[in-house]
């Protein structure tokens, strides 16, 4: 029996892992976990995996949805127009309010808040939402998996509340 040094053992372990992955036996490690999943999740997982062309597809890389292969340039153009118009309009309104020091008025302060929320939404959420729409698999990591929906809801609620308050203030002041 020969004594192996540490680099040889690491190399052999790496080869064994590669052989397991190539032979399909790497799923055996996850079999107990798969057995505890509810059937509805297993059906969804199988459906997603069947949508890939073969077993060698790297699901760590983004894959365009098959249903959007022909029309995704249209989505890019439309989202681009909305992002440019949204950024330009909201930044212009915020700069106008700040330069003329109108933020001391209640309505203008709320409009400034709405503009800043819209800038956040257009600069951060629209590109992420477009990527989520176009890409079939999640490639953004576990943090964004939880953070993006929370950010979407938070910004949406903030914009809606600010618009409602602005309308209420405007109606009460003008009447």
Whether the per-residue pLDDT at 24 is higher than 50: the answer is: no
CA–CA separation, 68 and 79 (whole Å): 14
Residues 6+ apart with CB under 8 A from 74: none
Show me where the domains of the chain are located.
12-51, 68-174
> Do 110 and 169 form a contact (C-beta atoms < 8 A)?
yes
Percent of the chain with pLDDT over 70: 72
pLDDT of residue 29: 59
% pLDDT > 90, the chain: 21
If DSSP states are collapsed to H, E and C, what string results for the chain? CCCCCHHHHHHHHHHHHHHHHHHCHHHHHHHHHHHHCCHHHHHHHHHHHHCCCCCCCCCCCCCECHHHCCCHHHHHHHHHHHHHHHHHHHHHHHHHHHHCCHHHCHHHHHHHHHHHHHHHHHHHHHHHHHHHHHECCCCCHHHHHHHHHHHHHHHHHHHHHHHHHHHHHHHHHHC
The yes-or-no verdict on residue 135 having pLDDT over 80 is yes
Q: What is the pLDDT of residues 42-81, one digit of tens each?
A: 777 776 666 666 666 676 777 778 888 889 899 999 999 9
Confidence (pTM):
0.60
Among 137, 134, 155, 157, residue whose Cα is nearest residue 145: 137
Mean pLDDT for all residues in the chain:
78
Ranking 22-31, 99-108, 115-124 by mean pLDDT, the lowest is: 22-31
């Amino acid at each position: 029996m020969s004594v192996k040094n540490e680099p040889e053992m690491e190399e052999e372990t790496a080869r064994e892992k590669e052989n397991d992955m190539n032979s399909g036996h790497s799923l055996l490690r996850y079999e107990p976990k798969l057995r505890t999943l509810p059937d509805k999740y297993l059906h969804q997982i199988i459906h997603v995996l069947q949508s890939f062309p073969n077993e060698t597809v790297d699901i760590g890389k983004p894959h365009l949805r098959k249903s959007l292969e022909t029309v995704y340039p249209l989505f890019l153009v439309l989202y681009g127009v909305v992002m440019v118009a949204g950024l330009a309009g909201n930044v212009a309104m915020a700069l106008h309010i700040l330069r003329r020091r109108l933020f001391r008025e209640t309505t203008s302060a709320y409009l400034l808040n709405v503009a800043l929320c819209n800038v956040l939404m257009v600069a951060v959420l629209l590109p992420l939402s477009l990527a989520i729409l176009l890409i079939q698999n999640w490639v953004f990591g576990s943090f964004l998996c939880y953070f993006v929906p929370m950010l979407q809801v938070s910004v949406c609620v903030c914009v809606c509340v600010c618009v409602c308050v602005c309308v209420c203030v405007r109606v009460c002041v003008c009447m």
